[in-house]
Structure 1
Amino acid sequence: MLAQSLRASRQSLVRVARQRHVAVSRRSFIAPTAVRQADLVQDMYLRELKNYKPPQVKASDAEGHVQKFNMPKAPLSPEESDIASELKTYETQQVDTEDQSSEGGSAVVEEDWFEEEEEDEAHAAH
């Protein structure tokens, strides 16, 4: 019984293999059915591209579009005599302080910016 079932399975495998081989060979040949038609627009475009000649570049083409480069002038060095006279005027200048500028001799009250504010008792109770 076992031998008969093996023969039957072998025969079925051979039959399936033959069917697949035949199916593959039938499908392998495909003939194109559509005929390539000429595209007039594409042909005209390609012809114009082949016939195009770019214009020659001349040296004078840039005139009027590009500014000529001029080196900037070197900065003038400061005159040392002017620095010396300015330093002398600075040294002889009178220093203004707050005490001298306030007239009447009243003392200036300074505010303490870092003084902490006392919290309200209502906020502290919560």
Structure 2
Amino acid sequence: MLAQSIRASRQTLVRVARQQPALISRRTFIVPTAVRQADLVQDLYLRELKSYKPAQVKASDAEGHVQKFAVPKAPASPEEGDIASDLKSYETQQVDLETGASEDGAAPVEEDWFEEEEDTPAAAH
């Protein structure tokens, strides 16, 4: 039985080997069946894109949008005469002193803000 199966497999192999050169020699060309349909929007877009010419940029185009640069003026320095007069008025100013006497002439009441509690002797147990 084993011999018959080997002989049968040999015969099929020989048959396949004889048919292989015929298959290899034939070449086929597969053509896609779907036909490319024209895309109207894409065609219009590409045509307009090719025909577009950008406008030339002129130097005068930016005049309304850009401000002219002007160097800021230097700050004025303080005058020495003003400093001297300010210093003199400060020196002649009347000094306000806070005195201990109130308007009615009575001595001010001294308040003690820090009051200690007296220690109470601990009760004997």
- TM-score bucket (shorter structure): 0.5 to 0.7
Return the TM-score normalized by structure 2. Answer: 0.54
Return the TM-score normalized by structure 1. Answer: 0.54
**Residues 49-88 of structure 1 correspond to what in structure 2 (within 5 A)?**
49-88=49-88
SS of 2:61 mapped into structure 1:
helix
Distance 1:82 1:38, change over 3 A: same
Larger helix percent? 1
User: Larger RCO: Structure 1 or Structure 2 (Cα < 8 Å, ≥ 6 residues apart)?
Assistant: 1
Give, in angstroms, the shift of residue 109 of structure 1.
Answer: 6.3
**Residues 7-18 of structure 1 correspond to what in structure 2 (within 5 A)?**
none
Which blocks of at least 5 consecutive residues in structure 1 are unaligned? 5-29, 117-126
Structure 2 Cα separation of the partners of residues 95 and 39 of structure 1: 95
Report the count of equivalent residues. Answer: 88
Are 1:36 and 2:48 counterparts? no
Which blocks of at least 5 consecutive residues in structure 2 are unaligned? 3-29, 116-125
Instruction: Please give the root-mean-square deviation of Cα atoms over the aligned residues, in Å.
Output: 3.4
Identity %: 74
Q: Which has the larger radius of gyration?
A: 2
